Amino acid sequence: MLKLILVISILGATLFARPPFLSQGLIPHYTKKIAKNWDNDFLELTAKQKPQLLSIREETMHELGKLKKLLEPLEQELAHRIVAGEKPQELSTLVEQIAKYKSKATMVHLKCVYKTQKVLTSEQLDLLPSL
């Protein structure tokens, strides 16, 4: 029974909005913050910047969505197999596959940050963390 509760707990954690990145919490989520402050008078996004930023966000979210769909079943399988008692060595190929997709997701995120930095002014970038 305890094993079943543990599996359900692990799977639940997998299914609920865990970012697919390697460096969680360390890299800024500019487009998310920009979306929340789209018409902020202090941020002053221009008519030229807004479509560029929308395009960056849409492209990023599309790519991350595809990777998350690939990651979720692999992470669920990993959780099942370790709780079932498989040896860590037997799981190494699966772990490497998960790491490959997380690495790709991290690169998508880094590209998003870089592209966003190229669209915003230095003043807007300085202001963004405080919003």
At residue 3, does pLDDT exceed 70? no
Give the domain range for residue 114.
Answer: 49-131
Task: Mention every residue, 6+ apart, whose C-beta is less than 8 A from residue 97.
Answer: 74
pLDDT given at position 89? 96
59 found inside a domain = yes
16 found inside a domain = no
Task: Give percent above pLDDT 70 in the chain.
Answer: 84
* Residue 125 CA neighbour count, 13 Å, CB half: 11
In tens, the pLDDT along 42-90 reads 999 999 999 999 999 999 999 999 999 999 999 999 999 999 999 999 9
Nearest Cα to 109, choosing from 48, 16, 23? Answer: 23
17 found inside a domain = no
Q: What is the pTM of this model?
A: 0.81
pLDDT given at position 19? 72
25 found inside a domain = no
Could you tell me the maximum CA-CA distance found in the chain, to the nearest angstrom?
Answer: 58
Task: Mention every residue, 6+ apart, whose C-beta is less than 8 A from residue 15.
Answer: 72
122 found inside a domain = yes
- Phi first, then psi, for residue 108 (nearest 5°) are -60, -45
Total tally of structural domains belonging to the chain? 1
42 found inside a domain = no
14 found inside a domain = no
